[in-house]
Copies of this chain bind each other. A is one copy, B any other.
Amino acid sequence: MGGAVKGKRMPRAVRERQMMDAAVQTFGQRGYRAASMDEIAGLAGVSKPLVYLYLNSKEELFTACIRREAGALVAAVRAGVEPGAPADRQLWDGLRAFFTHAAEHPDGWAVLHNQARTHGEPFAAEVARMRAEIVSFVTYLIGAAAREADCDSELAEREVGGLAHALVGAAESLAGWGNETPGVTAKETAATLMNFAWAGLENLMNGRRWAPPSPRG
Contact = CB atoms under 8 A, between A and B. Distances in A.
How many subunits of this chain does the assembly comprise? Answer: 4
Contact of A210 (B159, B171, B195, B204): B195
Contact of A173 (B32, B114, B166): B166
Contact of A168 (B117, B171, B173, B209): B173
Nearest to A208: B199
Contacts of A174: 162, 165-166, 169
Size category of the binding interface on chain A: 35 or more
A134 to B, nearest CB: 12
Nearest to A88: B210
B200 A196 contact: yes
A115 interface: yes
A170 interface: yes
A208 B208 CA distance: 15
A14 interface: no
A17 interface: no
A34 interface: yes
Contact of A199 (B117, B118, B168, B210): B210
Contacts of A176: 169
Contact of A169 (B159, B172, B203, B210): B172
Interface in A110-139: 110, 114-115, 117-120
Interface of A: 30-34, 88-89, 92, 110, 114-115, 117-120, 159, 162-163, 165-174, 176-177, 188-189, 191-204, 208-210, 212-213
Given A34-B120, A165-B177, 13 more contacts: A31-B118, A92-B212, A92-B213, A114-B114, A159-B195, A162-B174, A166-B173, A166-B192, A169-B169, A169-B172, A169-B176, A169-B177, A198-B200
